[in-house]
Structure 1
């Protein structure tokens, strides 16, 4: 009888542990979405203030332009969210954007290739850079900062050699349609990036791979001991980042109707800031796509405010630098708060 009671007590304590574990997970998930809600409120207040300072802000033309201008940053940030969630970083997204779009468009314009071939080649180049970054980082344990910094230089070198420092243009109408076309009055570029965001959200929230990304970022050793192939998971995040950088390059060259060696210069830090502001931790294990999109929107609002209020362009860089610093400080604060909440 005593043994039966002991077994029942043990089962009861196991069930209690499971309930506590589920409670902690739900608290963590609630915290992520509460953070997104807080960011949404910040954006709302910022928008109200900006609408008072500039009546042009709430015009349909300005709102549509704001959303379209944010699509390139959004595409890059979606890919970088996966990388940063594993505790990594990708500084090569700007150069991958440039080299993939230039080579793809060059094949179309200089070699008479069909548009679909040029687009596919651009995507393949982005994937190749991602495989290279992920392989070197996971196989040789080289810090991601160093590997992706090297990739950034390699990409810039390739595009300078390929283009000889000149822009590639013109762009076929079917290519331009990706940025300027409309379906039922909605810009195609918004539909494409929105669809990619939904797919990324589903991957993170409802797939085994998404849970593996969270686990690898939260504690890579524990994830490996649990049977997760963390090297594959991490490599795949860089592949997704490279792929999204190529998508951003295609969309940017379609918008500008040209591709050149300076495309995406300096956008890497802005991408990281958008992701971190959106709630993704630089230390890994936390983040979501909705938060990333809100982070992109906030940074785009800052740039929009600089333009509407006639602030000198030099201040744009200063403001972005401050935003990046604030994002890092918020990340440290969120991490400490999360640990304190989960330890209770």
Structure 2
């Protein structure tokens, strides 16, 4: 057990210095995005227009914000299926508390974010204290969250939205939509947390090898709980963005978004096994998934085939993750071992 932990830690340290696989992954994704965009520009005259590109990016911001939180959870080898339900619950609360109970818009927004964090806290406690598998714990939260959203909204759209949402949707800074800049800001902050803080190092350690992390003095349960809380908070923020985009709080929104988010995160190089990935790759995964969905719409693919294409993308992402872990990293491990064994011989 200790030998395994040591080997894992050595590999993790090496990857932290050179990040070769991460660079290859990101370069490959960028090449696919550019090549796919070039093909689509010939297949559809609408694709390369500024209006369409801006629409793709604005639509991607919602998935990207949710994916930021999901990345933290997957990095600790967890999964959060409740993200879409927390999103819609946040959406209907932020509008409903204002329209039904005359709350100030700022207080309604704060309450919605707090509810999202509360869902994350409950998920984290269920996983760490009750030892419920993340899939089951968050599946229960997914059902509860969506049900509460329907109960609160009565199954109908809640409108009108406060002016703060309209301003968020249509405001621009230097000609760039504010929602896009907000998403980039959140992703940059998240990456700084992961790469420059003690908590970030603890996240990677917990996901990469929980036993070694505990032996190193890391409170892995606290790290896991915090990651679920971050996921709940990001889902709630995404709920505010979708409210601004649709100008209504709707419990029926974001159906199946949890699968799209997981696909985007894994496509972006975040391993389902935990301990590997970054926000830059995740954003590329979100953009690629957004381009696929946009291409399906522009090419007038029937709705049923839209689901098939999305399913194939998810399957390809999972297969890529398994390949990366089983083949690419095993090759790197052999290189690390051979390097370590060759050094004593040189000294002799």
Which residue number in structure 1 is paired with residue 101 of structure 2? Answer: 111
**Counterparts of 1:45 and 1:232 in 2: how far apart (Å)?**
43
Structure 1 range deviating more: 237-246 or 101-110: 101-110
Once residues 292 and 299 of structure 1 are traced to their aligned partners in structure 2, the CA distance between those partners, rounded to angstroms, is 11
Task: Note the C-alpha offset of 1:20.
Answer: 9.0
Alpha-carbon distance, 1:311 to partner: 1.5
Q: Distance in 1 between matches of 2:322 and 2:69?
A: 22
Q: Which residue pairs with 1:204 in the alignment?
A: 194
Could you list the runs of 5+ residues in structure 1 that have no partner in the other structure?
1-17
Counterpart check, 1:190 vs 2:190: no
SS at match of 2:127: helix
Query: Partner residue of 1:13?
Result: none
Q: Evaluate the alpha carbon distance shift between residue 204 and residue 42 of structure 1 in structure 2; reply closer, same or farther with a 3 A threshold.
A: same
Mean alpha-carbon deviation: is it higher for 227-236 or for 179-188?
A: 179-188
SS of residue matched to 2:46: helix
Q: How many angstroms apart in 2 are the aligned matches of 1:76 and 1:21?
A: 26
Partner SS for 1:56: coil
Pair 1:147 & 2:137 matched = yes
Separation in 2, partners of 1:175, 1:20: 46
Alignment-derived partner of residue 308 in structure 1:
298
Q: Does the 8 A contact of 2:95 with 2:162 survive in 1?
A: no
Shift of 1:183: 2.1
Q: Please say if residues 149 and 251 of structure 2, whose CA atoms lie closer than 8 Å, have aligned partners that are also in contact.
A: yes
Contact in 1 for aligned 2:83/2:258 (Cα 8 Å): yes
Distance 2:53 2:223 in 1: 37
**TM-score, scaled relative to structure 1:** 0.92
Aligned match of 2:64? 74
Q: What is residue 319 of structure 2 aligned with on the other side?
A: 329
Quick one: structure 1 residues 173 and 326, their matched pair in 2 at CA, closer, same or farther if it must change by over 3 Å?
Answer: same
- Matched residue, 2:333: 342
**2:255 matches 1:265:** yes
Match for residue 112 of structure 2?
Answer: 122
- State the shift of 1:265 in Å: 1.5
Q: Which of 216, 228, 241 is the equivalent residue of 1:251? A: 241
Q: Deviations over 1:195-220 (max 9, x none)?
A: 10110111111111111110000000
Root mean square deviation, CA, Å: 1.5
Deviates more, 1:320-329 or 1:162-171: 162-171
After superposition, the C-alpha distances for 1:238-278 in whole angstroms (9 at most, x for unaligned) are 00100000000000011101012112211111100000000
> How far 1:339 sits from its partner (Å)?
2.5
Q: How do 1:82-97 residues align onto structure 2 when only pairs under 5 Å count?
A: 82-97=72-87
Equivalent of residue 276 in structure 1, options 261, 266, 273: 266
- Report how far residue 54 of structure 1 moved: 1.1
Displacement after TM superposition at 1:173 (Å): 2.0
For 1:91 and 1:320, how far apart are their aligned partners in 2?
17
Corresponding position of 2:156: 166
Counterpart-to-counterpart distance in 1, 2:49 and 2:71: 31
1:157 to 127, 147, 151: 147
Q: Is the 8 A contact 2:116 2:233 kept in 1?
A: yes
Which stretch has the larger CA shift, 30-39 or 229-238?
A: 30-39
Structure with the greater alpha carbon radius of gyration: 1
SS in 1 for 2:248: coil
Aligned partners of 1:242 and 1:21: how far apart in 2?
28
Contact 1:115–1:175 at 8 Å: present in 2 too?
no
Q: Give, in whole Å, the separation in 2 of the partners of 1:48 and 1:226.
A: 49
Counterpart position of 1:11: none
Is 175-184 or 107-116 further displaced after alignment? 175-184
More displaced stretch, 259-268 vs 280-289:
259-268
Does structure 2 retain, via aligned residues, the 8 Å contact 1:95–1:156? Answer: yes
Q: Secondary structure at the match of 1:140?
A: coil
Distance 1:220 1:293, change over 3 A: same
Q: Shift of the alpha carbon at 1:168?
A: 0.6
Relative to the length of structure 2, the TM-score reads 0.91
Q: Structure 2: 5+ residue runs without aligned partners?
A: 1-8, 336-348
> What is the number of residues matched between the two proteins?
326
CA contact (8 A) 1:24 1:342 kept: no
Contact 1:75/1:193 (CA < 8 Å) preserved in 2? yes
